[in-house]
Structure formats: structure tokens, C-alpha cells
């Protein structure tokens, strides 16, 4: 009898030719008694990343599949195209410039979900690397207090991800989740997960998983996140920071309405992010963004906090300077 695929790991990559081999090799070190697969999702790289992916797919045809070549889709489109073709009961992922740790991670996360039907997701710890050395461990991050315990109620994860100010409750790449839990929403309300304008995949997915079940934590360090240069959430320009976080604010507002989470419970997120984008607009000397910030504030039905108003005032004064 043919064994069904138990888990699929999506490798999401774009122009990471110098690091993609490290990521894939870290997955090949997994020791798992279940049938599982790796799906390589290269988003039209121009630096040779796809050639590396093709080599691995040819060397491991029973384990690795590569997405067909297509024009660049962006992070959200690339992730969910891979998600859709995944055959596993459970899904996880790995960024092309990061790596998995602990060779028993996949086995243990599968066993956890098999024995905890009330949980839609099982996550583990993450170590953060910068300039060749470890600079942090997520379980020691005070902003994540309350999430690193064996059982976390789904609503706490839902509100935690929507009301985040610094960190998400857990890192999606450190998690293994039930595909059918996500599909229960994806089939009827695709835009609540595959939101191209929001520009991110993790917040909608963590929200969906919190809305459909509880979470569980395995006390193992199973993922290494590298801070290297510029990424989606590690932007190096004021304009990109503005576009990213204004998109997040709009996305969270939609998710709150869909999951019926009162905006009053998300005040911390709103105040933090609206002040942040006001600062980015000011630093970018972009007074044309003032009305956009006011529109976001009106959509949230919340006033702009004092810190944000000060940034907008200073920005408006910059606009009035002669010669500017």
C-alpha cells in the first residue's frame, strides 16, 4: 500500500544562490520515519538560484519537487502556489537564506500534531544569527512571553498575531501546521490568506491557525534565522518601510473584521505601527503620504497617537520650507 505524504516543507526563495544550498541541505538532514516531501519554490531568480534547485530536484527525485518556472509572483503568490500543490497533511517552510536545526524536528512535530487533535499548529524555538554569531533566542524574547508553553489557546494566538508590536507569537518557519485547517478558510475566503497587497504570508496564516485550533510548543531549537542585508521585514529604506507597514496595518484591519476581533483589543498594534509609518514618511520627506496616514487612521476609527502626530506636524513643516 502506497504511503501518503505526511508533511510538505516549502522552500521559499528568490535570488539566494549563495545560501539556498545551505537551506536545502539542512532539510536533507532531517530524520523522519514518515513519508515527506520538499517543494522548492523559486520566484524567478536571476542569479542562478533556480539551477541549484534543479540540481537538488534531479538528485533527490523521490523527495524533492520544484515548482515550474513562472514570472515573478512576489512572496505571497509564490508561497501560496507552493502551498496549493503540497500533498502533505501537515505543512512547514524554510526561507532560502535560513536553515532548519535539530534533525528530529519534523518527526517530533508530526508526532505532536498526531497526538493533539485540538491543535492546528506546533511550533518550536528559533535562534537568530547576525554577522556569524547567535544574537538571540525567541523563547528568551520578552515580547513573546506567554506563548512558549506546551498549550496555547487559539484565540490568544489570533489576538497575539494581530496585536503584535514587536514580534509575532511564533515564527511560521518554526511551525508545522495542518493544511486542512488553513484550507477551511482558504477555499471560501482566499483573500483573507492570499492578500497580495498585504505583502506577507505569516500574519494571515498564524491568524487562520489561531482561529481554527490551539497551538503547542516543543522546547527544541529547530530553526535558525539569519539577519543578512535586506528582506521583506528588514527593509533598509524609509519608503519601503512605509509601504510594508502601511500594508500590514490595512491587512490587520481586514483580518480583525473577518475574525470578529474588536479593534479595541488591537490598540497596541495600531498605535505602534501608525506612529512608525508616520516616522518613515517624515524621514523620507514625503508629505504626500500625510493623507494616506489619515485615511488609515479613519479606517481604524482610532486617533493618531501623540508620537505620530508630532511626526506628521514636523513633516508638514518640512513641506512649507522654502525651496523644499
State whether 75 and 220 are in the same domain. yes
Same domain (yes/no): 92, 129: yes
| pLDDT at residue 232 in the model | 46
180 is written with which cell numbers? 486542512
- Residue range of the domain that includes 205: 7-227
pLDDT of residue 230: 55
Q: How many structural domains compose the chain?
A: 2
> What gap in Å lies between CA 54 and CA 274, rounded to an integer?
43
Do residue 127 and residue 208 come from a single domain?
yes
Judgement on whether residues 185 and 265 belong to the same structural domain of the protein: no
Task: Please give the pLDDT value at position 234.
Answer: 53
The pTM of the full predicted model, rounded to 2 decimals, is 0.93
Question: Which of 186, 204, 227 represents a domain boundary (last residue)?
Answer: 227
What's the pLDDT score for residue 3? 79
Examine residue 233 and state whether it is found in any structural domain, yes or no: no
Residues 167 and 304 occupy one common structural domain: no
Residue 1 in any domain: the answer is no
> Is residue 176 one of the residues assigned to a domain?
yes
Query: What's the pLDDT at 231?
Result: 52
DSSP secondary structure code for residue 222 in this structure:
E
Residues 150 and 295 in one domain: no
The Cα-based distances of 20 to 99, 155, 184, 322 in angstroms read 9, 35, 32, 50
What is the tens place of the pLDDT at every residue in 22-57? Answer: 999 999 999 999 999 999 999 999 999 999 999 999
> Do both 124 and 255 map to the same domain?
no
Residue-level pLDDT at 139: 87
214 and 79 both lie in a single domain: yes
**Residue 131: predicted pLDDT:** 87
Same domain, 209 and 151: yes
Q: Is residue 271 part of a domain?
A: yes
**232: closest CA among 96, 69, 34?**
96
> What pLDDT does 1 receive?
56
The list of the chain residues with pLDDT below 70 reads: 1-2, 229-236, 319-324
Q: Domain check: are 277 and 220 in the same one?
A: no
Amino acid at each position: 500500500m502506497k504511503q501518503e505524504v505526511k508533511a510538505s516543507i516549502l522552500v521559499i526563495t528568490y535570488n539566494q544562490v549563495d545560501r539556498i544550498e545551505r537551506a536545502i541541505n539542512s532539510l536533507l538532514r532531517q530524520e523522519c520515519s514518515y513519508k515527506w516531501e520538499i517543494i522548492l519554490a523559486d520566484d524567478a531568480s536571476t542569479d542562478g538560484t533556480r539551477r541549484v534547485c534543479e540540481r537538488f530536484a534531479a538528485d533527490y527525485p523521490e523527495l524533492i519537487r520544484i515548482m515550474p518556472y513562472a514570472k515573478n509572483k512576489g512572496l505571497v503568490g509564490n508561497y501560496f502556489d507552493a502551498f496549493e500543490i503540497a500533498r502533505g497533511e501537515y505543512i512547514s517552510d524554510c526561507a532560502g537564506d535560513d536553515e532548519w536545526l535539530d534533525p528530529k524536528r519534523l518527526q517530533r512535530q508530526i508526532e505532536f500534531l498526531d497526538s493533539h487533535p485540538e491543535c492546528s499548529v506546533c511550533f518550536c524555538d528559533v535562534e537568530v544569527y547576525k554577522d556569524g554569531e547567535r544574537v538571540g533566542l525567541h523563547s528568551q524574547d520578552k515580547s513573546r512571553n506567554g506563548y512558549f508553553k506546551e498549550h496555547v489557546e487559539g484565540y490568544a494566538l489570533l489576538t497575539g498575531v494581530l496585536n503584535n508590536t514587536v514580534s509575532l507569537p511564533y515564527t511560521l518557519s518554526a511551525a508545522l501546521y495542518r493544511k486542512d485547517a488553513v484550507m477551511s478558510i482558504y477555499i471560501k475566503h482566499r483573500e483573507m490568506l492570499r492578500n497580495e497587497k498585504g505583502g506577507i504570508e505569516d500574519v494571515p496564516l498564524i491568524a487562520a491557525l489561531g482561529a481554527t485550533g490551539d497551538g503547542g510548543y516543543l522546547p527544541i531549537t529547530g530553526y535558525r534565522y539569519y539577519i543578512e542585508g535586506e528582506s521583506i521585514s528588514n527593509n533598509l529604506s524609509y519608503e519601503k518601510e512605509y509601504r510594508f507597514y502601511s500594508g500590514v496595518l490595512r491587512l490587520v484591519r481586514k483580518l480583525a473584521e473577518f475574525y470578529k476581533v474588536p479593534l479595541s483589543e488591537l490598540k497596541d498594534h495600531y498605535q505602534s505601527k501608525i506612529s512608525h509609518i508616520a516616522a518613515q514618511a517624515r524621514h523620507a520627506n514625503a508629505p504626500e503620504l500625510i493623507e494616506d496616514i489619515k485615511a488609515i487612521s479613519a479606517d481604524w476609527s482610532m486617533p493618531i497617537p501623540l508620537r505620530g502626530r508630532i511626526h506628521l506636524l514636523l513633516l508638514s513643516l518640512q513641506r512649507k520650507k522654502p525651496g523644499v
